[in-house]
């Protein structure tokens, strides 16, 4: 095993991106992700790369669009309000089938909101990152280690499926320091980028990167082709983690930072004789629906825990066809739930006394 380093989540993600061969960063500073851009600004010029602070998030995402079209690995990072600004560009990138990695270190919203950790951009990431029929792959790390290892994976997934991959983190993961091992991700085989607009040198037909299709028949075909790819991703790329779910009567569903707090609550519940378990989606899109549905056969109830007002709850209900009750507990606006609070809701969900 390689040596572990102590790093902030933002910095670990940046370092992992550079190690994954990403030499291009375009972004605009915003708390709580600024250390990521800062790290890139310090490191990339020394490591054959380039970091550019754009004049706005709108500019940054369009720089990413251009860089991604050349087939080079590139990344941008921002926090919640910045993603809203990037949304048009993200849709263009999706419509053009070019790969890139997007990072959202979420903070409380709506509006300018606050700067403390939140998960209230779940729906935006899963359902509304841009206009049009579209998905992006969304990965939810739960530790500084995963901030690093899922970044390598994000670049691989983006390249393999020619689409953006988003890392949906939050302010706590971005700011906290933990040990990280950069050897934890094994790179995957990447198909040759024959589509890239990187100069044809009169040796091949020139490539076009474009999201404009005036003829509806033609546009429909690009969308249908893309959804075939989405189906393949849903089949092959679902990632999740479970803890004590085999005999669980109550399954807590949580991702990211909330999942580890929920894990403590599950452990506390077990100590009190409550058969609780934890299901942690690592890919939020594709959502691990099949795996949750299988659990619906054995457990009595689900409790969805997030740092928002219940955005994932409906996905849990859909996954299990509402076969079992699904309740929600969450804190929002930058508040982090405590294990004790989650335990109270575990008890409520199993119908025991509080």
Partner 1 sequence: MAGILLAGFGGQGILFAGKQLIVAGMKNGKEVSWLPSYGPEMRGGTCNCSVNIDDEPIGSPLVTTPDILLAMNKPSYDKFVSKVAVGGTVVYDSSLVTPEETRDDIKSCGVPATQLANENGFPKLANCIMLGKLMKETGLFDREYFCESLRAASPRQSPSWAK
Query: CB neighbours (10 Å) of residue 109?
Result: 21
**What is the β-pairing status of strands 283-285 and 137-139?**
antiparallel
DSSP tag of 178:
E
The least CB distance from residue 144 to partner 1, in Å, is: 8
Residue 263 found at the interface with partner 1 (CB under 8 A): yes
Q: Which is nearer to partner 1, 314 or 338 (CB)?
A: 338
Q: Which of residues 282-341 bind partner 1 (CB under 8 A)?
A: 336, 338-339
The least CB distance from residue 250 to partner 1, in Å, is: 18
Structural tokens at position 321: 């066809």
Task: Give phi and psi for 103, each to the nearest 5.
Answer: -120, 130
Q: Which is nearer to partner 1, 210 or 338 (CB)?
A: 338
Task: Compute the distance between CA of residue 106 and CA of residue 170 in angstroms, rounded to an integer.
Answer: 4
The least CB distance from residue 244 to partner 1, in Å, is: 14
Stretch that binds partner 1, among 87-95, 222-230, 261-269, 312-320 (CB under 8 A): 261-269
The least CB distance from residue 181 to partner 1, in Å, is: 12
* Collapsed DSSP state (helix, strand, coil) of residue 103: strand
Task: Compute the distance between CA of residue 272 and CA of residue 265 in angstroms, rounded to an integer.
Answer: 11
The least CB distance from residue 182 to partner 1, in Å, is: 15
Q: Which of residues 158-197 bind partner 1 (CB under 8 A)?
A: 171-172, 175-179
Backbone dihedral region for residue 220 (phi beyond 0: left; psi -120 to 50: alpha; all else: beta): alpha
Task: Compute the distance between CA of residue 47 and CA of residue 42 in angstroms, rounded to an integer.
Answer: 10
x/- mask, partner 1, residues 95-124, rule CB under 8 A, reads --------------------x---------
The least CB distance from residue 339 to partner 1, in Å, is: 6
Q: Which is nearer to partner 1, 223 or 344 (CB)?
A: 344
The least CB distance from residue 177 to partner 1, in Å, is: 4
Residue 264 found at the interface with partner 1 (CB under 8 A): yes
Q: Which is nearer to partner 1, 267 or 293 (CB)?
A: 267
Stretch that binds partner 1, among 66-74, 132-140, 254-262, 306-314 (CB under 8 A): 254-262
The least CB distance from residue 208 to partner 1, in Å, is: 44
Strand ranges in the chain using DSSP code E only, listed in sequence order: 5-8, 24-27, 50-53, 74-78, 100-106, 137-139, 164-170, 177-180, 240-243, 250-253, 276-281, 283-285, 301-306, 326-330
Q: Show the CA angle centred on residue 163, arms to residues 159 and 168, nearest 5°.
A: 100
User: Taking every pair of C-alpha atoms in the chain, what is the biggest distance, in angstroms?
Assistant: 75
Options 19, 29, 31, 239; binder of partner 1; rule CB under 8 A: 31
Contacts to partner 1 by CB under 8 A:
4, 6, 31-32, 115, 171-172, 175-179, 257, 260-261, 263-265, 267, 336, 338-339
């Amino acid at each position: 095993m390689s040596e572990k380093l102590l790093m902030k989540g933002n910095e670990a993600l940046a370092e992992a991106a550079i190690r994954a061969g990403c030499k291009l960063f375009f972004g605009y500073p915003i708390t709580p992700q600024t250390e990521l851009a800062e790290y890139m600004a310090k490191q990339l010029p020394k490591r054959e790369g380039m970091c550019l602070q754009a004049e706005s998030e709108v500019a940054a995402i369009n720089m990413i669009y251009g860089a991604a079209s050349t087939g080079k690995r590139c990344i941008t990072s921002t926090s919640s309000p910045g993603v809203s600004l990037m949304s048009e560009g993200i849709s263009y990138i999706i419509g053009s089938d070019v790969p890139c990695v997007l990072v959202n270190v979420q903070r409380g919203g709506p509006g300018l909101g606050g700067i403390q950790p939140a998960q209230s951009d779940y729906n935006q990431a899963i359902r509304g990152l841009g206009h049009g029929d579209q998905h992006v792959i969304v990965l939810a790390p739960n530790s500084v280690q995963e901030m690093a290892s899922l970044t390598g994976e994000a670049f691989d997934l983006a390249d393999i499926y020619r689409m953006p991959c988003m890392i949906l983190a939050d302010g706590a993961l971005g700011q906290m320091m933990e040990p990280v091992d950069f050897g934890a991700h094994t790179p995957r085989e990447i198909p040759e980028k024959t589509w890239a607009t990187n100069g044809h040198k009169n040796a091949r037909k020139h490539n076009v990167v474009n999201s404009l299709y005036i003829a509806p028949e033609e546009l429909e075909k690009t969308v249908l082709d893309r959804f075939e790819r989405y189906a393949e991703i849903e089949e092959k790329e679902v990632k999740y983690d479970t803890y004590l779910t085999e005999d669980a009567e109550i399954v807590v569903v949580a991702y990211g930072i909330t999942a580890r707090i929920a894990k403590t609550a599950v452990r506390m519940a077990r100590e009190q004789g409550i058969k609780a378990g934890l299901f942690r989606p690592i890919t939020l899109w594709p959502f691990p629906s099949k795996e949750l549905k299988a659990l619906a056969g054995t457990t009595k109830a689900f409790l969805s825990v997030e740092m928002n007002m219940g955005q994932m709850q409906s996905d849990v209900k859909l996954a299990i066809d509402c076969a079992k009750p699904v309740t929600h507990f969450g804190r929002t606006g930058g508040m982090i739930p405590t294990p004790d609070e989650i335990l109270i809701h575990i008890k409520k969900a199993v119908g025991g006394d509080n």
